[in-house]
Amino acid sequence: MKDFMALFLDYYDREIIKMIVEKYNYSYMEALKKFLNSETYRMLRNEELEMWEFGCHAIFEMWECEQITGSPLSSSYLRVN
């Protein structure tokens, strides 16, 4: 499972950081720092949450919700209601 998680995280890191750079015009390093220090990223790294079920756009939307509201749980992808 470790090999899968390493590949999974590498792919998502590259794609989501690219999205952050493109949308918010952050430098690569600034986007990387913001993403890696987020609750969204901690959730992504948690194997029990199986976040690989979501695509990059969903993970990006969770990160954006976290930036706006302080929590990725406010994302439409994670809301129970």
pLDDT at 64 over 80: yes
Domain boundaries of the chain, sorted by first residue: 2-74
Is residue 81 over pLDDT 80? no
Measured over all CA atoms, what is the biggest interatomic distance in the chain, rounded to whole angstroms?
36
Q: What is the reported pTM?
A: 0.89
Q: d(Cα 5, Cα 33) in Å, to the nearest integer?
A: 20
Range 3-14 average pLDDT = 88
Q: Which residue has the tokens 């998680």?
A: 5
Quick one: pLDDT at residue 1?
58
